[in-house]
Amino acid sequence: MFSSRLPARLGPSPLSRAIGLARGEGRVRIDLTETNPTVVGLEYPHDLVGALADPAVLTYDPASLGTVTARAAVAAGYTTTVVDPARVVLTASTSEAYAFLFKLLCDPGDHVAIPRPSYPLFDLLTSLEGVEPRPYRLDPAGGWAIDRDSLMQALTPRTRAILVVSPNNPTGSCLRAADRDWLVELARDRQLALIADEVFADYPLVPRRDASSLLGTSGALTFTLGGLSKSAGLPQMKLAWTVISGPDDLVAAARDRLDLLADSYLSVSTPVQVAAPRLLAAGRDVQRAIRPRLVANLETIRRFVKRAPAMSVYEPEGGWSAVIRVPAILSEDQWVLRLIDDCGVLVHPGYFFDLDTGVHLVVSLLPAPDVFETGLSAIADRVRSLS
Ligand SMILES: Cc1ncc(COP(=O)(O)O)c(C=O)c1O
């Protein structure tokens, strides 16, 4: 009776069930999987709430791609590249932006090349649009740069788009300038679109000199995604955006089609669009609160890795997460359960993000530094005592 876009079997995996049970029994005391910025003790600017209390929110004047004011505020928020507000499309979330882009670019059964390891939602987001994800590899030995051979192998006659996440979740790796140029040429030659998820772009950690962005690319049709959930630490506001770039004729054709698509949903609320200029401005303060945390927590990882040489960290170049390699004496599931049972610390198993070379744990860098340090200390102790 139901569509195969959704999984035939719902319900939690055995690991999720065990974690749910541990949470219910109060055995998870330190949650290093927390990526919700609103629950990790950050100070938000007080005038944020006032931004929503504008009488203008009471008038509904639908604008399919988003209001002129909100789109202008998003465009102005980009400081390194000039963005034309007419090329900005608002959605309620990045997930919705993906849904629109897959509808725009793909027929049912078409393919989209997606990076591995990366954000776990891509399998579902593609499947929900009747599109098939074709994974390509990021190379751990090369700082998680694009494995070009693997990407070439992932392309099929039905591929419509290549997805790039920079900084990537969870590896924190950024697109290299040489890979950007190569991708643009490849996309242009094969008439593919590029989808660049740059939601973590405001959080550089140890940026490489050759790190690059696809924003404003002119050689191939490109969609660059961002949103308040990361830029302003405000996932509950439900505002994300897509910047279209590329050859003018393709940009115009894509924009007209997105206009129709977005007009069929009109999902972005009026209050958030009225508040957008102030939310984006306040977001810069939130970024200033988040960044030192990311830096401090990454430094904590480095410190504990030195004390427990059996574990190592892939240095993230940006973003909110880090990948820690632990000895293969236990499986990833066993590590996760062991850390809960022995120390009340919750981490993600690497396979959750399709990390498949070695045994990895993924931690969020968002928790308060004292909480994070206690969690890392417990992990390092376990690694030392078990290896
Ligand atoms: C790479 C990446 N893109 C998008 C999102 C989700 O963004 P949104 O809340 O706007 O749907 C996440 C969330 O963690 C993410 O990791």
CATH 3.20.19.10 for domain 46-282: no
The tens digit of pLDDT for each residue in 11-20 reads 999 999 999 9
Q: Is the pLDDT of residue 46 over 90?
A: no
Work out which ligand 1 atom sits closest to the CA atom of 95. Answer: 11
Q: What pLDDT shows up at residue 42?
A: 96
Q: Is the pLDDT of residue 208 over 80?
A: no
Residue 55 burial by CB count (10 A; 0-12/13-18/19+): exposed, middle or buried? exposed
Mutate to test the pocket of ligand 1, among 91, 138, 199 (most ligand atoms within 8 A of CB): 199
Q: Is the pLDDT of residue 47 over 90?
A: no
95 C-alpha vs ligand 1 centroid, how far in Å?
A: 7
Amino acid at 42: L
The Cα–Cα gap between 251 and 261 comes to 15
Which percentage of the chain shows pLDDT scores above 90? Answer: 95
Pocket of ligand 1, beta carbon within 6 A:
35, 93-95, 119, 165, 169, 197, 199, 227, 229, 235, 240
pTM score, whole prediction: 0.97
Tokens of residue 232, six digits: 């302003």
Mutate to test the pocket of ligand 1, among 168, 223, 228, 230 (most ligand atoms within 8 A of CB): 230
344, 28 in Cβ contact below 8 A?
Answer: yes
| Protein residue with least CA distance to atom 5, ligand 1 | 94
Q: What pLDDT shows up at residue 20?
A: 97
Domain boundaries, the chain: 14-43+287-386, 46-282
- Strand pairing partners for 102? none
Q: What pLDDT shows up at residue 209?
A: 80
CATH 3.90.1150.10 for domain 14-43+287-386: yes
Q: What pLDDT shows up at residue 387?
A: 83
Mean pLDDT calculated for residue range 160-186: 97
Listed in sequence order, the residues at least 6 apart from 170 whose beta carbon sits closer than 8 Å to its beta carbon are 117, 118, 319, 321, 322, 323, 348, 353, 355, 362
Q: What pLDDT shows up at residue 206?
A: 86
Q: Is the pLDDT of residue 126 over 80?
A: yes
Mapped onto helix, strand or coil, the DSSP state of residue 67 is coil
Length of the chain: 387
